[in-house]
Structure 1
Amino acid sequence: MDNLTSTPPRPLWRQHDFRLLIGGRLVSQLGDSLQFLALPLLVIALTGSSTQAGVLLGSQTVVYLVFGPVAGALVDRWDRKATMIWCEIGRGVLTATIPVAAALGVLGMPQLYAVAVLNGVLSTVFGAANSSALPNIVTTSDLPSALGAAGAMSNALRIVGGSVAGVAFAVSRMLPFAFNAVSFLASAAFLRSIRTDFQQVRATTPTSPRALVIDIGRGLAWLWHNPVIRTLALLDAADSLRYGAGYLLIVMLARGLHANPTQVGMVFTAAGAGALLGSLLAPSLTRRFPLGALSVTMLWVEAMAFPFYAVAPTWWLLLVVAFVESVVSPVYSIALDSYRLAVTPDALRGRVTSAIDTLTTGGAAIGTMASGALIALLGAPALTVLLAGWLTLLALVATLSKTVRTASATDWSDGSAQPTQGHDEGSRPL
């Protein structure tokens, strides 16, 4: 009788609310990919200064590092759906001021800095709410597939976004900004049409600085007392140091092989294709292998692949290395994020997500800032070897850590969330 009355699970892509969520994200990220290239080009056109372009882009990272933990606490208190909609509307309006000011002949750097900082604040809040909402829109068993689909979409845009952005900017300097403004509003419309609640419960106490500090502390305490998530998050943050340094490092290695700008671009296109493949493989690997075994294996594969950057004798072999090495990161990230989202209590999810994202973003920012000085001091090949040693150290730490080795993912087959370690902290009072 149960077999007659039970409803079989629907495939992910047949779920109405997930299609709306991913559709809105697709439109919004396409706009972001156009603006990401157009913004530094616009700054250079206005000022002739690449330094100002770098400072402008870096300001958004600084905003995230400073405001990230607060954003996580806020989205655990506020209505996540309404918050995401208003963030998209706000980002759309802010972005639209750029082409409007250009049309009026009053566009200048103070406005661009203001838009970048305010958009950074709204983006930080939106990102925390978006990650926290996903487990309420799809089932636990669908989390790996949902994260894999989002990752595949992002990496597909990464592959085509640069060329499309260049064409759009060539047509009109303001076209990427106008498109991005519209994409934010379209994303808000998609979100408005989702029927599912984005969270289970919200705090009813008044929002005050003291209350937010207490909330942030509770989120950090839960994270600290969950050994699997804590250890893997710290390893991920340490790995982000290498990731942050990688962009400039690959550019310099390619230049050392006399690659022209088109060939350098092809190397990064290959990296995007590898990340796309990793995103597609990640859901099945996450379901098939324990989290610990997958994490250790991926770190070792990364450590063994990275040294080949330093010895590749031609740019096209550098392209092959970039493709292979880039497959690893999405597999590791999707496995870890699926586990974390499944076991973190909904009321704490914004704070835990923001704390981990702040760690990894901070690691990447330090790597990016340090890479130029280290390349000048050591040379690109020597820095490659140094970073390969760093990855080997991380792989050894993961291998020797019983917490990592014995970590087991949730039971994806029935959608239950039953990790082997660190789950009892979820019952702590908020």
Structure 2
Amino acid sequence: MTELQRNFWLMMTGRSISKLGDTFHFLALSLMIYAKTGSALSVGQVMVASYLPMILLGPFLGVWIDRLDKRKLAITCELIRAGVVLSIPFLPHVYWIYTLTFVTAMVGFVSSTSQSGLVPQLFPKDQLLGYNAKIQTAMQAMAIAGPVLAGIVIGLWSYTAAFIVDSATFLYSATTLTLLSVSAKQLSKNTGAKKDRQFWKELGEGARYMVRLPRVMNATAIMFTAMITSGMFNVLLVVFSKDIIKVSDLQFGWLEAGIGVGLAAGAATLNLCKKLDLLLIVRVGILVDAIFIAVLGTTNSFYTEWLTLVMIGMFSVMAMISAATIIQTEAEQAYMGRVLGFYNTVFMAGTVGSMALAGVVETWFSVRDIFIYGGLATALATLLLSMRRLRKAESPSAATKGAEV
């Protein structure tokens, strides 16, 4: 096995097993909070605590990610996550759980961003889409199997057992990161993040640098637009399925699995799109995804809804992977953490903001109308954002330095 193949298998197994742990964590945490409080509001609050770090701290954490060795930082974060999640089921009060959920999410964000920034140091840039697609395929397969396995563990044993499995997956992830082979030359590039600069100056430099990447900015704008509709879609899907299509609890589980099937299929399909322009995949992926959301609003049966959800999952993940790959291929390592931090903050702000608005919008329009007109509006916005042909920026770092002088 070559060093390249070894790095791939280590990264793929580490991230996919860690993804399995995330599914255990999400299911066990939601069920445990509901069992302790009997309140759906409390479950919603703990979910908000999981999203807040990305929205509030994304760009700021990106500065520190750029200053440090990404592999060592990711290893440290995975070890911290292993210890923190193991303590959650033993906490005496639900507010402590909220606090540690926030900490876990923050550390997990740093780990995930560091690993995304590490990918360009492990694989050739012209092959990043293929490697990202294979890694994401494995991760999405775990996202399909994870909830089923977590339910079995919780049913046979307890919530605590699920958190123990969760902790073990992070330890495994830390081990695979330790075994990665990153050359000394690459590591030196990764650690040369101008530690003598002031924090706010580095943050501003990262923002100016990102603005000088027109394709990254366009992909970010398209993904933000898509998330405004997708956030409401995620909240209202259960209402649409249970109250309008009239599916059973078992059928709703199959609908959720259908989204997972689409995510895995989309990630696998990207292996056939290596020669296509990444920004084109983002634009077409979100356009088709939005159209299928509109189609979902017209469905009347469980089977057509399932097929539509598969297509939604498929095209949305193709766009998401391609958007991340654009950043990995076009942003320089010295700015990678900050660019990913800004991108994730914008992405999650659209998602959480639309989730918060879903209940308000539902009082004005029917769920069918929200899906149909929201999907069509997103498709139109994507078309408008895709009108201009954009080429890769030439040496944005040089442009940044010139502006400073």
Query: What's the TM-score, normalizing by structure 2?
Result: 0.92
- 2:180 aligned residue: 194
**1:92 correspondence with 2:82:** yes
Change (3 A) 1:231 1:39: same
Q: Which aligned pairs between 1:16-165 and structure 2 lie closer than 5 A? A: 16-99=6-89, 101=90, 107-165=92-150
Q: Give the gaps of 5 or more residues in structure 2.
A: none
Aligned residue for 2:247, secondary structure, equals coil
What letter corresponds to residue 251 of structure 1 in structure 2? V
Aligned amino acid, residue 180 of structure 2: I
1:298 aligned residue (285, 310, 319): 285
For the residue of structure 1 that corresponds to 2:191, the secondary structure is: coil
Change (3 A) 1:137 1:66: same
CA distance in 1 between counterparts of 2:229 and 2:40 reads: 24
Equivalence for 2:270: 282
1:311 Cα deviation (Å)? 1.2
Q: What's 1:414 paired with?
A: none
The answer (yes or no) to whether the contact 2:298–2:372 under 8 Å persists in 1 is no
Residue identity in the other structure for 1:260: S
**Does the 8 A contact of 2:193 with 2:334 survive in 1?**
no
Deviation at residue 347 of structure 1 after TM alignment: 0.4
Q: Secondary structure at the match of 1:311?
A: coil
Partner Cα separation in structure 1 for residue 74 and residue 303 of structure 2 = 42
1:206 shift after superposition: 4.6
Tell whether the 8 Å contact from 1:71 to 1:128 is kept in structure 2 after alignment. Answer: no
Aligned mates of 1:295, 1:181 — CA distance in 2: 34
Deviation of residue 295 (structure 1)?
3.6
Structure 1 residues 162 and 296: CA distance shift in structure 2, 3 A? same
Do structure 1's residue 213 and structure 2's residue 184 form an aligned pair?
Answer: no
Q: Which runs of 4+ in 1 moved over 3 A?
A: 203-207, 291-296
Cα distance in 2 between the residues matched to 1:253 and 1:45: 26
Q: What does residue 325 of structure 2 align with?
A: 338
| Unpaired runs of at least 5, structure 1 | 1-9, 408-419
Q: 1:179 deviation in Å?
A: 0.8
Q: Deviation of residue 195 (structure 1)? A: 2.2
1:232-311 equivalences under 5 Å are: 232-255=219-242, 256-285=244-273, 287-311=274-298
2:361 matched residue in structure 1: 374
How far apart are residue 296 of structure 1 and its match?
A: 3.6
Residues 267 and 316, structure 1, Cα contact 8 Å, conserved in 2: no
1:327-354 C-alpha deviation (Å, 9 max, x unpaired): 1112222233222211111100110011
Letter in 2 for 1:396: L
Mapped contact 1:344–1:426 kept (Cα < 8 A): no
Aligned length: 396
Work out whether 1:180 is the aligned partner of 2:170. Answer: no
Give the distance between the partners of 2:257 and 2:18, measured in 1 at CA.
Answer: 21
Mapped contact 2:70–2:190 kept (Cα < 8 A): no
Q: Check conservation: 1:76, 1:347, Cα contact below 8 A.
A: yes
What is the DSSP-based 3-state SS (H/G/I as helix, E as strand, rest coil) of the residue aligned with 2:297?
A: helix
**Secondary structure at 1:360 match in 2:** helix
The separation in 2 between residues aligned to 1:334 and 1:348, in whole angstroms, is: 19
CA contact (8 A) 2:120 2:328 kept: yes
Mapped partners of 1:119, 1:58: distance in 2: 13
Q: Offset of 1:205 from its aligned partner?
A: 5.0
Q: CA-to-partner distance for each residue in 1:240-287, whole Å, 9 max, x for gaps? A: 1112111222211111111111111111211111111110111321x2
Q: Any idea what SS the aligned residue of 1:313 has?
A: coil
Residues 206 and 274 of structure 1, relative CA distance in 2, 3 Å threshold: closer
Secondary structure class of the residue paired with 1:338: helix
Give the Cα–Cα distance (whole angstroms) in 1 for the partners of residues 279 and 15 of structure 2: 30
Of the three residues 153, 156, 179, the one matched with 1:168 is 153
SS of corresponding position for 2:198:
helix
Shift of 1:376: 3.2
Structure-2 separation of matches of 1:225 and 1:373: 37
Look up the match of 2:335: 348
- Aligned letter for 2:129? P
Q: For residue 318 of structure 1, what is the amino acid of its counterpart?
A: E
Tell me how far 1:142 sits from its aligned partner: 2.2
Residues 300/79 of structure 1: CA separation in 2 closer, same or farther (3 Å cut)? closer
Kept after mapping to 2: 8 A contact 1:98/1:107: no
Task: Kindly indicate whether the alpha-carbon contact (under 8 Å) linking 1:299 and 1:394 is maintained by their aligned counterparts in 2.
Answer: no
Partner of 2:159, secondary structure, is: coil
Aligned mates of 1:21, 1:288 — CA distance in 2 = 23
Structure 2 Cα separation of the partners of residues 398 and 64 of structure 1: 25
Q: CA deviation at 1:373?
A: 2.2
Mapped contact 1:42–1:173 kept (Cα < 8 A): yes
1:303-325 superposed Cα distances (whole Å, 9 cap, x missing partner) = 33222211111122111111122
Aligned-pair distance for 1:202?
2.3
Contact 1:216 1:351 in 2 (8 A): yes
Amino acid at match of 1:157: M
Matched to 2:364, the amino acid is: L
Cα deviation for residue 32 of structure 1 reads 1.3
> What is the TM-score of this pair, normalised by structure 1?
0.87
Deviations 1:388-409 (A, max 9, x none): 2222222321342x1xxx34xx
